[in-house]
Amino acid sequence: MKALAVYFSIAALVILGCFAKNNDQVNTNPKSQETSNKTAIAILGGGCFWCTEAVFEKIKGVSEVVSGYAGGKNENPTYKEICTGTTGHAEVIKIVFDPKVVSYEKILEIFGLCHDPTTLNRQGADVGTQYRSTIMYLSEEQKRIAEEWKKKWGDKFVDPAVTEIVKAPIFYKAEEYHQDYYRKNPNQGYCSYVIRPKLKKLNLE
């Protein structure tokens, strides 16, 4: 009996460990993206996630923005691995928002303004596939809206958007020091010369 109790104790720890290891991943089942208070999730990539995170943290109706990685082959990638440009992952943000306050259409409108969707695998001085413009949809409705956004962009501007539109893969939360980066480091060089001017241009600061 004692041996059996030890066995179940170990099994319980293993199960808990698995949950703990994966608690920063996003289940891409669309029904799982709606929480009890009727919020929704968007996953977007538009260059350095410090920039896009800083923008969407200031949008009314957005309750949480998490920087992370998605779209590549490595499980639980690190920032060091991402910087090699060989993992296939993009720097992305997971946006938790209230669709009654800010719609997915509005989220994409802001997304188009806070980065350049016409440059392939590049945003300013940040170059590499990890900086690609990407919309990772979580439902067929999000896919439809994203495709409409991309078409409207092409109709409105000379240069077409090169933003990829793909089904959301597993989202891996980035290291803690990347989270709320601008808020925590407003006077850091990149924040001062890249992020702050962008926020001012969008009348967010």
Among the options 48, 51, 114, 191, which is catalytic? 48
Other Cβ atoms within 10 Å of 129 Cβ, number? 18
Please indicate whether residue 48 is annotated as part of the active site.
yes
Distance, in Å, from the CA atom of 135 to the CA atom of 44, rounded to the nearest integer, reads 5
Tokens linked to 158: 């000379």
DSSP letters for 143-204? HHHHHHHHHHHHHHSSSPP--EEEE----EEPPGGGTTHHHH-TTSHHIIIIIHHHHHHTT-
Distance, in Å, from the CA atom of 44 to the CA atom of 113, rounded to the nearest integer, reads 13
What angle, 0 to 180 degrees and rounded to 10, lies between the N-to-C axes of helices 140-156 and 104-113?
A: 40
Of the candidates 171, 183, 190, the one whose C-alpha atom is nearest the C-alpha of residue 53 is 183
**176 torsion bin: left (phi>0), alpha (psi -120 to 50), beta (else):** alpha
Other Cβ atoms within 10 Å of 68 Cβ, number? 26
What angle, 0 to 180 degrees and rounded to 10, lies between the N-to-C axes of helices 49-56 and 104-113?
A: 130
Q: Which residues are catalytic?
A: 48
